[in-house]
Chains A and B, each alone.
Chain A
Amino acid sequence: MSLHIDKLVKHYQVHHKEAGLRGSLRSLFHRRYEMVKAVDGISFDIEQGEIVGFLGPNGAGKTTTLKCLSGLLYPTAGSATVLGFTPHKREKAYLKQFTLVMGQRNQLLWDLPAMETFLVNQAIYGVPERQFRETLDELVDLLDLKPLLTKQVRKLSLGERMKCELAASLLHRPKVLFLDEPTIGLDVTAQAAIREFILAYNQRYSATVLLTSHYMADVTALADRILVIERGRLMYDGNLQALVERTAPYKLLRLVLEQPVDETELKLFGDVESIDGLKVTLRVPRHGTKDAATRALARLPVADVTVEDPPVEEIIREVFRRGEAVEYA
């Protein structure tokens, strides 16, 4: 077992900010504090080599959990064990085995080329020269870093910088990767490149990956298993597909018609989700999809048909709305 988290709890105290000039002046003399429960008792286990996605709205506790697992935060209660280590002890041996990549914080030296940071990391993690060169070559290859290595980091675009950040954090071949919003702010190509890369790294080194993201595409592309967290509590832990099927027992039937068809007629085949000229989307029960599709193809002037799952965002929103407790699939 790679990670074992048991009833983890993390609370903070923050001061209550008042608006306007008067409020600010008042706060010069007196302040009010309130307690925020960032993580409120979550438990889960992850095996070595798994890629797990961490989903949840902003402020749900995802980043806080990752920080607890990295040893940056001392839990208020509960326990976490990663690779047999207690993270908050920050033992050197542990620090050399994992990496935390935060979208907002950079480890790359800003005014120097990325290569300089790589070399420093090599020294800090004590990576032998040959292994370093091998790993570097792989990373350069997978992430297409060749033209970027000699440019000053501050002159790189956001996507280029993120790729270099990732490379810098993997030079020591960590067994566990904590990725906090790794694709935030990147364009589609860069996002795809990073996703491919994470998958490749996971397969090559059997590394455990725990990633948080706002983008469903990240999660659907990479993680079979997801943890849904909201307000510090675990709402769902299990297979993404299973969650989709359970929460939304329907599929979307998208038709492109050869000629317009009246809505009343369309209703015979399923609930009408949307009509856009010749493009029609129908909602059909999951188990009757084949049936509905066959009937539609037979009776309607269909030029093209696709069957889709509802967008995952919708599923997740639904999970939150229902406020279900933890379930294991």
Chain B
Amino acid sequence: MRDLIRVYRALLRVGWELMLEYRAQALLWILSFVFPLVMMNVWLAVVDEAGPLAGWGRSDFIAYYVAAALFNYLTAAWVLWDWDEDIRTGSLSVKLLKPIDPFHYLLTNELGWKVFILVVMGPLVALAAWLSPEIDYPLTAESLLAVAASAVTGFALNLMMSTSFAMMSFWSTQTKNFYQLVFGLGQFLSGWIAPLALFPDTIRHVATLTPFRYTLSFPLEILMGRLSGSEIALGFAVTAIWLISFTIVYRVFWRLGVKRYEAVGA
């Protein structure tokens, strides 16, 4: 365990430095802001036309999407692209020669960016919330803690989901495309396309069972004070079940995948 901590300290430092090296890439943020704001804008136009939807008025949509822009980036995991690249090009070999699991390399790369996002985008969102009368998050100390925890578990869920999908790359070259498919469908259930509250009951119930809700909607629902204590607890429970399931799937297919990698040619 002590070894792992030492390794993580070293890897996290590198992850941070790499992120600094690439800070110019931050132009990509613009992308992450534009889409939710465009969507928010459309909802506002709809509300203007048809009045509040399922009890959601202008300020609700604004509060939702501004936070969604931040949380989407916070919980996102891009490891799948790196896994796929490493496996297909054979760069995984370099990592396999090391006495630590490649998983740690890929995770620490991501974490560098997360800190950046938190440190830069977080205050921006907080500032927007404070300045704009329309954005009002009813936060208490406990709910803030719950929001933070759900953001962490949301990221962990995305991470393990991506990682277990990434294992497909040992057998297929189409992993990225397949993942986009699953991810794209998931966006309907995660609260990205529309807040889950706007969907018919059946869809909402289904969404509560899928992992997607817990990567975005769940933290947002807590943030906007729409969940009771027991609902929050239930949410974490479902998150835990999915987290464990994906981790198991990942480890099983990792072992099988490495065997195949070694059989076919590293």
Contact = CB atoms under 8 A, between A and B. Distances in A.
A323 to B, nearest CB: 27
B133 interface: no
A37 interface: no
Secondary structure type dominating chain A contacts: mixed
Interface string A92-134: 1001100110100111010110001001101111100000000
B40 interface: no
Interface residues of B, number: 28
Interface stretch (A65-73, A189-197, A274-282): A65-73
A92 B99 contact: yes
Contact of A122 (B10, B18, B93, B265): B10
Interface stretch (B1-9, B68-76, B219-227): B1-9
Contact of A112 (B21, B98, B99, B262): B21
A100 B97 contact: yes
Contact of B97 (A72, A111, A119, A126): A72
A72 B260 CA distance: 11
A90 interface: yes
B99 A123 contact: no
Interface in B10-38: 10-11, 13-14, 17-18, 21-22
Interface in B75-125: 90-91, 93-94, 96-100
B54 interface: no
A119 B10 contact: yes
A73 B262 contact: yes
A214 interface: no
A95 B95 CA distance: 11
B127 interface: no
A100 B97 CA distance: 8
Contacts of B258: 90
Contact of B11 (A105, A123, A125): A123
A70 B99 CA distance: 12
Contact of B10 (A73, A92, A107, A124): A124
Interface residues of A, number: 30
A151 to B, nearest CB: 14
A229 to B, nearest CB: 18
A130 to B, nearest CB: 15
B141 interface: no
Given A111-B18, A112-B14, A122-B10, A95 B266 contact: no
A15 to B, nearest CB: 12
B259 interface: yes
23 contacts: A12-B264, A13-B264, A71-B97, A71-B262, A72-B97, A72-B266, A73-B265, A74-B263, A90-B96, A96-B99, A105-B90, A109-B18, A111-B18, A112-B18, A112-B21, A116-B13, A116-B14, A122-B10, A123-B7, A123-B9, A124-B98, A124-B99, A124-B100
Given A72-B266, A73-B265, A106-B94, 16 more contacts: A12-B264, A71-B97, A72-B93, A72-B262, A74-B262, A90-B258, A92-B99, A96-B99, A99-B97, A102-B93, A107-B97, A109-B14, A111-B21, A120-B14, A124-B99, A126-B6
